Amino acid sequence: MLESTLILMAIVVLLALSFDFINGFHDTANSIATSVSTKALPPRIAIILAAFMNFFGAMVFTGVAKTIGGGIADPLELNHGMYIVTAALISGITWNLITWYYGIPSSSSHALIGSLTGAVIAAAGFNAVNYKGFFTIVEGLILSPIIAFSVGFLVMSLIRFIFKNTHPAKLNRRFRLLQIFTAAWQAFSHGTNDAQKSMGIITFALVAGGIQSDLEVPLWVKCSCALAMALGTSVGGWKIIKTVGTKIIKLEPSNGFAADFSSALIIIMATFFKLPVSTTHVISSSIMGVGSAKRVSAVKWGTAEKMVMAWIITLPITIIFSGLIYWVMSSTLNLS
C-alpha cells in the first residue's frame, strides 16, 4: 500500500513539474514579450534574466500555494485525492500545450483551477467543492485583468503627460533602459504567483495521500517547482511572445515600460493577498490599457477578442476535460 502511494506520488510530482516547466515557456514568454519586442533586451539575455528572476520569485512566497492547496477542496476529505490531482494535471498540461501550439496566450491558472475543480466534482460530487474558496479565486481572476487595463491606461496617460515635450528618440532611449528593470520585476512577480500553483497542487496531493497533515509547502517542493519553471523559461515561447509583443499594439519602449510596470504591480499585489491570478490576463490587459491611452484604434481588437474567447472557454473546457479523464481513470482502475 505504501509502495503504491509513493509511486503515485512520484507520478503526481513529475506531472506537476511538467506543468510548471510548460508554464515556464508558455506564460513566462508573456513577461518578457514587451522588452524583446521593443529591443530593450536581446532575446537570449531576456530569457536568462527571466529564468533567474522567476526562480528567485518562486522561492520567496507560499501564500498562493496554500490557497490552491485548500481553496478549491479539502484534501483531507477526499478519497483518491492523488488520482484527482493526476487527472487535473493531465488536463491542464494538455490544454496548455494545445494553446501554446496555436500561439494563443490562454491562462495556465484557469487551466489548473478548472482542471482541479472538474476532477474533484467527478470524484466526489458537486458538494465536495469549496465554493467560497472557488469563487474567491475566480473573482480574482476576473477582476485582475480589469484592474490591469485601468492601471495600464493611467500609467501610460501619466507618461504621455509628463514627457509630452520630450523628443521621441530621447524618450525611447530612457524607457528602453528602464524596461530592463521592469522586465526583471515582471519575471520576479510571475515567479511569486505562477510557480506557487504547482507547489499548491503537489502539497494538495501530499495531504490527500496522507504523507503530510497540513498545507505547509515543503522546501523540496519549493525548490523543484522554482527550478522547473526556470528551466521552462530558458526554453522560451516565441509564438506567445509574437502574439503578446506584436499583435495587440505596436509597442514602443515607453509603452512596454508602462505595460510591464502595471502588470507586475498587479501580480505582486495579488501574491500579497494570496490570490492566484493569470499572468497572461494581467499582462495582455495592461498592454491593451496602454494602447488605449494612446488611442483606442491603436489596439488590435481582433487579436484581443481571440484572447478573451480563449480565457472564457478555458475554465469550462478544463472542468469537463479533467472530469472525463478522472472518469476514465476511475473506470479503468475500479476506483470507488
Which candidate, 56, 53, 266, places its Cα nearest to that of 151?
266
Cα distances (Å, whole numbers) of residue 252 to 17, 169, 200: 35, 11, 37
Range of the domain at 50: 2-333
Q: According to the model, what pLDDT value does residue 116 have?
A: 95
Q: According to the model, what pLDDT value does residue 149 have?
A: 93
Q: State how far the Cα of 328 lies from the Cα of 91, in Å rounded to an integer.
A: 12
Q: How many domains does the chain have?
A: 1
Q: State how far the Cα of 64 lies from the Cα of 71, in Å rounded to an integer.
A: 10
* Residue-by-residue DSSP string for 208-274: HTTS-SS-PPPHHHHHHHHHHHHHHHHH--HHHHHHHHHSSS---HHHHHHHHHHHHHHHHHHHHTT
CB atoms within 10 A of CB 162: 9
Positive or negative torsion for Cα 292, 294, 297, 298: negative
Q: What is the maximal distance between C-alpha atoms in the chain?
A: 73
Which candidate, 293, 256, 76, places its Cα nearest to that of 182?
256
Cα distances (Å, whole numbers) of residue 87 to 188, 214, 254, 273, 320: 29, 22, 43, 28, 11
Q: According to the model, what pLDDT value does residue 110 have?
A: 86
Q: pLDDT of the chain along its 336 residues, tens only?
A: 567 778 889 999 999 999 888 877 666 666 677 777 777 788 778 778 888 888 898 888 888 888 888 889 989 888 888 899 999 999 999 998 888 777 666 777 889 999 999 999 999 999 999 999 999 988 988 899 899 999 999 999 999 999 988 887 888 888 988 988 988 998 899 888 888 888 999 999 999 888 888 888 999 999 999 888 888 877 755 555 555 544 555 678 888 899 889 999 999 999 999 999 888 788 888 888 988 887 777 676 776 677 777 778 899 999 999 999 999 999 998 886
Helix, strand, or coil (residue 67)? helix
* Backbone φ, ψ for residue 330 (5° rounding): -65, -40
Residue type, 266: I
